[in-house]
Chain A
Amino acid sequence: MMRRAALIAVPYLWLLVLFLAPFLIVLKISLSDAALAIPPYTPTLKDGIGALISELDFENFVFLTEDDLYWKAYLSSLRIALISTFLTLLVGYPIAYGMAKAPEEWRPTLMMLVILPFWTSFLIRVYSWMGILSNEGLLNQLLTWLGLINEPLTILNTNTAVYIGIVYTYLPFMILPIYAALDRMDSSLNEAAEDLGCSKMQAFWLVTIPLSKNGIIAGSFLVFIPALGEFVIPSLLGGSGTLMIGKVLWEEFFNNRDWPVASAVAVILLLILVIPIVLFQRNQQKQQEAEQ
């Protein structure tokens, strides 16, 4: 019995101290005021519990609603995450479909080729696009050589580069769940649809797409959720005009050293994320129940 208690207590306490407690601290600091002190906010625990409760207020949250930088950053993060999720779906679906239709003996290799980039450093994969998209980069050299453009296109440091970066790095998250859904599908259903007079295209829209719906939904959430709080991609590929909330939080903390506002930004980002996360969980549960 003692052993069981210890087995539960060790990971439990670890997560309480290093996961839950830090959040409560963020929440508390988001309600504090900035101060010229170390640490740079007030009140701190040293001021006593009474002062701690009476001095907390929602000032920082009010500040976030007043300064339209933050509004714009949240909205533009949502827009960038939505657009790139959609683009990832457009790129990922045909690949997953091709994999599911490939001969049986190729599939483990194809699967491995999709997973391999996932194990490679995220930072390096984002960085690899910098040399391709820059003004003197390979893409512009290629397009000029083909005679398609006369002047180099500015792609690096724009939102377009951010979309490319997100599609590229999160593509495996989209491909794998869709492939899993398509792989489970019975191909005789499509044949039946064609026998009953559907064209190939109609059978695809009316049979294949609805049957892979769960994979599409799961993949979209797996791309959308991390893309929303993304920091590395907008800061390496995006420009000064690219507003994303992960970057704003980073700058608020490291450049402006405003801890209370950075914490308030974090709290709101979490609140926004709760909705897609709950929806994702529900989709997964439904899928599990359907499988049983």
Chain B
Amino acid sequence: MRRLSWFNVTSLTLGFAFLYLPMIVLIVYSFNASKLVTVWAGFSTKWYGELFRNEAFLDAAWVTIKVAVISSTFATVLGTMAAYVLVRGGRFLGRTLFSGMIYAPLVMPEVITGLSLLLLFIGIGLDRGVLTIVLAHTTFSMCYVSVVVSSRLVTFDRSLEEAALDLGASPWESFRLVTLPIIAPAVISGWLLAFTLSLDDLVIASFTAGPSATTLPIKIFSAVRLGVSPEINALSTIMILIVTVGVISASLVSKQSAVRAQKDARAAERTA
């Protein structure tokens, strides 16, 4: 094994310090007793207490989670369908337009997506609230899901599906019993991606949310516009911890299943 040169060690250390220091500072200062966020005045958890007594934040958090769960579920179903159509659908009328509409939202500036959806909702007279945010989030997340799922479908051995069909399965049975279990990891990571995108979205939600429903990013944005606040630091810390635990456990699970798949493959080779 070659050792890393001092240059590479330095660039990796500095690079990861740059990526992580701001978040570490945020976490440390969420335990600061002082209201002044830049002066350290001792350890305290009082901002967490204040946060959990803040009704407005709790309401917004509940709306955000509701929107994220519903929209990511719809987005996963629609996105998987779209991926299946793109990879397995063959030719049909307007295929180019369809694939264009799948890829365009990925590069569209959020301000434009938000503005255009708002104008649509006003045009058809739909009151802005949880429903409109769910519709908006489903639309842009389904495109991300479909990219993730179709990249898995492309590398997938089609003869497995054909074998199921030859053995008398209906197309739906072959999808449910053969295709779905194989693409399941991609579908799950698509769902997770859609969930985080929805949880995180400020711009599109600002356009499509009404006075009856405010999401957490909208609340955070209007609070931090006025400057740094220790309560927001506490909230950010909680969110960072949830994501960190989620991502690490998801990667451990997928690593385990990869190891299991390898074992199965080896066992299959031995018996063959």
A-B contact pairs, 11 of them (CB 8 A): A11-B82, A18-B138, A26-B115, A98-B11, A137-B38, A168-B22, A171-B19, A226-B109, A249-B115, A259-B119, A266-B112
A212 to chain B, nearest CB (A): 15
Surface stretch bound by B, among A55-63, A67-75, A110-118: A110-118
Closest residue of A by beta carbon distance from B196: A119
CB pair A19 B119 closer than 8 Å: no
CB pair B119 A26 closer than 8 Å: yes
A130 to B236, CA, bound (A): 13
The 6 closest A-B CB pairs, nearest first, are A229-B109, A22-B116, A94-B11, A95-B15, A128-B22, A98-B8
Q: A14-B142, A19-B105, A25-B116 are in contact. Are A122 and B225 (CB under 8 A)?
A: no
Closest residue of B by beta carbon distance from A103: B1
Using a CB–CB cutoff of 8 Å, the interface residues on chain B facing chain A are 1-2, 4-5, 7-9, 11-12, 15-16, 18-20, 22-23, 25-26, 29, 37-38, 78-79, 81-82, 84-85, 89, 92, 94, 98, 101-102, 104-105, 107-112, 115-117, 119-120, 122-123, 135-136, 138-139, 142, 146, 171-172, 196, 199-200, 202-203, 217, 220-221, 224-225, 227-228, 232-233, 236, 239-240, 243-244, 246-248, 251
CB pair A101 B5 closer than 8 Å: yes
CB pair B220 A127 closer than 8 Å: yes
A127 to B38, CA, bound (A): 14
A235 to B38, CA, bound (A): 21
Main secondary structure of the interface of B (DSSP, over half): helix
CB pair B37 A131 closer than 8 Å: yes
CB pair A98 B12 closer than 8 Å: yes
Contact of A102 among B4, B146, B247 (CB under 8 A): B4
Residues in B with CB closer than 8 Å to A147 are: none
A12 to B101, CA, bound (A): 9
Residues in B with CB closer than 8 Å to A95 are: 11-12, 15-16
Interface centre among B4, B81, B196, B232 (most CB of A within 10 A): B81
A235 to B172, CA, bound (A): 49
Using a CB–CB cutoff of 8 Å, the interface residues on chain A facing chain B are 3-4, 7-8, 10-12, 14-16, 18-23, 25-26, 29, 39, 45, 91, 94-95, 97-99, 101-103, 110, 112-117, 119-125, 127-132, 134, 136-138, 141, 168, 171, 225-226, 228-232, 235-236, 246, 249-250, 253, 259, 262-263, 266, 269-270, 273, 277, 280
CB pair B120 A8 closer than 8 Å: no
B260 to chain A, nearest CB (A): 17
Beyond contacts A15-B139, A231-B203: 12 other A-B pairs, Cβ-Cβ < 8 A, are: A10-B78, A14-B142, A19-B105, A26-B119, A94-B11, A113-B19, A130-B228, A131-B25, A134-B227, A168-B22, A229-B112, A273-B109
Closest residue of A by beta carbon distance from B122: A39
Q: A19-B105, A132-B25 are in contact. Are A123 and B15 (CB under 8 A)?
A: no
A221 to chain B, nearest CB (A): 9
A14 to B89, CA, bound (A): 17
Interface centre among B8, B29, B138, B171 (most CB of A within 10 A): B8
Residues in B with CB closer than 8 Å to A12 are: 85, 94, 98
Contact of A127 among B5, B18, B104, B224 (CB under 8 A): B224
CB pair B5 A236 closer than 8 Å: no
CB pair A138 B19 closer than 8 Å: no
A129 to B142, CA, bound (A): 31
A5 to B107, CA, bound (A): 28
CB pair B23 A97 closer than 8 Å: no
Residues in A with CB closer than 8 Å to B89 are: 4, 7-8
A115 to B220, CA, bound (A): 23
A136 to B220, CA, bound (A): 22
Closest residue of A by beta carbon distance from B85: A8
CB pair A7 B221 closer than 8 Å: no
CB pair B19 A114 closer than 8 Å: yes
A164 to B152, CA, bound (A): 35
A39 to B217, CA, bound (A): 27
CB pair B8 A97 closer than 8 Å: yes
CB pair B123 A168 closer than 8 Å: no
Residues in B with CB closer than 8 Å to A8 are: 85, 89, 92, 98
Q: A26-B112, A266-B115 are in contact. Are A97 and B11 (CB under 8 A)?
A: yes
Interface centre among A3, A98, A226, A263 (most CB of B within 10 A): A98
Residues in A with CB closer than 8 Å to B171 are: 3
B22 to chain A, nearest CB (A): 4
Residues in A with CB closer than 8 Å to B203 are: 231-232
Residues in A with CB closer than 8 Å to B236 are: 121, 124, 127-128
A21 to B101, CA, bound (A): 11
